[in-house]
Amino acid sequence: MGLKKLVSFGIFVLVFVIGFGFTSIARGYDYPPPTQKIEFAQQTSDLMLNTLFAALTQEFDETTADNVEQGKQSISLIFNDQNKDMRLVGTVGPLRENDRPRDNFERQANALALAGQAYTSIQRVDNKWYY
């Protein structure tokens, strides 16, 4: 009888500890990333912007009336819709419906971009943090 109670108590404690651990892990996803990771993301974002700007400037310099279709294809490869981390978004005659802003962040960022202002935020999308 004592062994049965001891085993039952052990199982109860084990279930409690596992449940508490999963709860702690789940709550941990609600916290934004630490400052060091945010600073790293900001620096990465700045580098990516500089790289994209240089690539697009080069593309625009090389695209002529004779190779405009190749230029459009080249740009569409950079802003591939399969890339979940980066999309080309606009409201002035987008090529496809997918090129329109999808949420409040994209609408606000797009409006400010058209006014010449940058807009950044730290947001969680599909359980992954983005800068």
- Integer Cα distance of 20 and 115 in angstroms: 49
Confidence of residue 8 (pLDDT cuts 50, 70, 90): low
- pLDDT top residue among 28 and 100: 100
- pLDDT top residue among 57 and 78: 57
Are the C-beta atoms of 120 and 129 separated by less than 8 Å? no
Same-domain check for residues 19 and 60: no
Same-domain check for residues 88 and 44: yes
- Integer Cα distance of 54 and 40 in angstroms: 21
The Cα-based distances of 91 to 15, 32, 56, 57, 120 in angstroms read 53, 30, 19, 21, 19
pLDDT tens digits, one per residue of 31-76:
888 999 999 989 998 998 898 889 888 988 999 999 989 988 888 7
| pLDDT on residue 12 | 53
Host domain of residue 76: 35-130
92-111 average pLDDT score: 80
Same-domain check for residues 102 and 43: yes
CA R_g for the chain: 24
Same-domain check for residues 44 and 89: yes
Are the C-beta atoms of 99 and 89 separated by less than 8 Å? yes
Which of helix, strand or coil describes residue 129?
Answer: strand
Domain count of the fold of the chain: 2
- pLDDT top residue among 13 and 58: 58
Whole-number percent of the chain with pLDDT over 90: 11
| pLDDT on residue 39 | 93
- pLDDT top residue among 57 and 1: 57
